[in-house]
């Protein structure tokens, strides 16, 4: 079967096979990696190697810490304002979909979370024109969502926000192509799309932001404490960290992020071209320049066919194509672990379905 789930999503088969082979006896320890102390030498080595691989893949410059945290991206919607802003400070949010909206909502109890740009009027099916953004040079940071998983809207460049630190929720596009980390103050991502299992959050944070006082809070919420303790302030998600390390290793064997970027662009083009060539049977609701390479929502010309499309696609081994209710129709998520072959099979299925039901 080919899995097009938006998340938790397909992981590379090679990673899963390796994890399976090592499940009962990791690294000759006689135990599963899940059963070992995070303070033991072997796990510490695993953790450090995973971080090194991630740094290499993304070209993380000096002056940034890499953290392996928990709580999901949602918890960090709240924790980021707690750490980067003091009571009464404001931060700017560029909102291009469901997750950006939620980030504003979760920040609001702590700071003045200003919506400095939004495509709500376009039902989040486009990006807000830059000339309408009302960025405040005194903001504590600017937050945006480079890829909106539900609406299928993606920025294809990094917005210039001047000297204000840029904070990016890269949950659904991290590691999908090369990115210039130096343009960001903070990058964070829930792992369950392009990295590993849910329950792990990877964060890359610039030292000057770590040094911010933020607001009064318990240690467990403070990023500087996590950094000072190498992400082992408390027991980390060891299993998630292990799988993330395997995924990073797999990405290196695949040629790194430049190679992934090319593959992902080709996969997305295959699917968007299929809509164009379907004579109106399938269409993308998203504005052309805002279309995501990772999450591709699409509708059938007659929604009465949706149930048949889902039943027949699932029977053909094409999983999780049902769209989110906010957009309707279908959605195919094309993360790193989804190969070109899966997209080719999907496109062939779609063509046959259109012939049969057209």
The distance of closest approach from Cβ of residue 73 to ligand PLP in the complex, given in angstroms and rounded to an integer, is 3
Phi, psi values for residue 67, rounded to 5°:
-120, 145
The distance of closest approach from Cβ of residue 130 to ligand PLP in the complex, given in angstroms and rounded to an integer, is 21
Query: For 172, which DSSP code?
Result: T
Answer yes or no: 239 catalytic: no
Whether 79 has a binding-site annotation, put simply, is no
- What angle is formed at CA 11 by the lines to CA 185 and CA 106, rounded to 5 degrees? 40
Angstrom distance (rounded) from CA 250 to CA 159: 30
Answer yes or no: 183 catalytic: no
- What angle is formed at CA 60 by the lines to CA 7 and CA 133, rounded to 5 degrees? 70
Closer CB to ligand PLP, 115 or 316, in the complex:
115
The distance of closest approach from Cβ of residue 103 to ligand PLP in the complex, given in angstroms and rounded to an integer, is 8
CA dihedral 17, 173, 80, 249 (to 10 degrees): 30
Angstrom distance (rounded) from CA 22 to CA 13: 14
**How many residues of this chain interact with ligand PLP, rule: CB under 6 A?**
11
Residue among 65, 126, 169, 241 flagged as catalytic: 169
Residue among 2, 65, 193, 241 flagged as catalytic: 193
Judged by CB under 6 A, does residue 272 bind ligand PLP? Answer: no
Angstrom distance (rounded) from CA 358 to CA 352: 10
Residue 278 is inside which H or E element, if any? Answer: none
Nearest to 156 by CA among 140, 138, 177: 177
The distance of closest approach from Cβ of residue 76 to ligand PLP in the complex, given in angstroms and rounded to an integer, is 8
Q: For the chain, what's the residue count?
A: 358
Closer CB to ligand PLP, 140 or 145, in the complex:
145
Q: Residue 283: beta bridge partners? A: 299
Residues of the chain by 3-state class (helix, strand, coil), percent to 5: 40, 15, 40
Answer yes or no: 126 catalytic: no
Whether 99 has a binding-site annotation, put simply, is yes
Considering only residues 99 to 138 of the shown chain, the ones binding ligand PLP according to CB under 6 A are: 99
Angstrom distance (rounded) from CA 6 to CA 38: 30
Considering only residues 179 to 198 of the shown chain, the ones binding ligand PLP according to CB under 6 A are: 190
Whether 247 has a binding-site annotation, put simply, is no
> Exactly one of 3, 119, 140, 145 binds ligand PLP (CB under 6 A); which one?
145
Tokens 């496109």 correspond to 347
Sequence-ordered strand ranges (E) for 220-353: 282-283, 295-300, 318-319, 330-333
Whether 74 has a binding-site annotation, put simply, is yes
> Exactly one of 5, 7, 185, 268 binds ligand PLP (CB under 6 A); which one?
7
Residue among 2, 26, 99, 241 flagged as catalytic: 99
Per-residue x/- track, 60-99, ligand PLP (CB under 6 A) = ------------xxx------------------------x
> Exactly one of 96, 119, 140, 171 binds ligand PLP (CB under 6 A); which one?
171
Active-site residues, by number, are 99, 169, 193
- Residue ranges binding ligand PLP (CB under 6 A): 7, 72-74, 99, 145, 149, 169, 171-172, 190
**Residues annotated in a binding site:** 39, 73-74, 99, 149, 169, 192, 234-235
**Residues annotated in a binding site for L-glutamate:** 39
């Amino acid at each position: 079967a080919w899995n097009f789930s938006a998340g938790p999503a397909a992981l590379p088969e090679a990673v899963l096979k390796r994890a399976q082979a090592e499940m009962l006896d990791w690294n000759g320890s006689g135990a599963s990696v899940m059963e070992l102390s995070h303070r033991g030498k072997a796990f510490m080595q695993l953790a450090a190697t995973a971080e090194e691989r991630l740094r290499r893949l993304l070209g993380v410059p000096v002056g940034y810490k890499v953290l392996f945290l928990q709580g999901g991206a949602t918890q960090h919607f709240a924790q980021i304002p707690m750490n980067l802003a003091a009571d009464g400070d404001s931060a700017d949010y560029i909102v291009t979909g469901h997750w950006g909206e939620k980030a504003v909502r979760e920040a609001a109890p702590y700071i003045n979370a200003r919506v400095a740009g939004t495509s709500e009027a376009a039902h989040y099916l486009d990006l807000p024109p830059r000339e309408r953004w009302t960025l405040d040079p005194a903001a504590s940071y600017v937050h945006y969502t480079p890829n909106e998983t539900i609406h299928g809207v993606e920025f294809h460049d990094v917005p210039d926000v001047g000297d204000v630190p840029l904070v990016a929720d890269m949950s659904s596009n991290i590691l999908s192509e090369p990115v210039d980390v130096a343009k960001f103050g903070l990058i964070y991502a829930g792992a369950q799309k392009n990295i590993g299992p849910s329950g792990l959050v990877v964060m890359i944070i610039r030292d000057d932001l770590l040094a911010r006082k933020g607001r009064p809070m318990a240690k467990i919420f403070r990023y500087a404490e996590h950094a000072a303790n190498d992400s082992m302030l408390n027991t980390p998600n060891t299993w998630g960290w292990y799988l993330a390390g395997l995924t990073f290793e797999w990405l290196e064997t695949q040629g790194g992020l430049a190679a992934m970027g090319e593959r992902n662009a080709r996969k997305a083009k295959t699917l968007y071209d299929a809509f164009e060539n379907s004579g109106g049977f399938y269409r993308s609701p998203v504005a052309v320049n805002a279309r995501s390479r990772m999450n591709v929502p699409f509708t059938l010309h007659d929604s009465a066919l949706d149930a048949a499309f889902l039943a027949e696609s699932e029977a053909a081994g094409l999983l999780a194509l049902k769209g989110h209710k906010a957009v309707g129709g279908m959605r195919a998520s094309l993360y790193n672990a989804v190969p070109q072959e899966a997209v080719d099979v999907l496109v062939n299925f779609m063509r046959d379905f259109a012939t049969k039901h057209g």
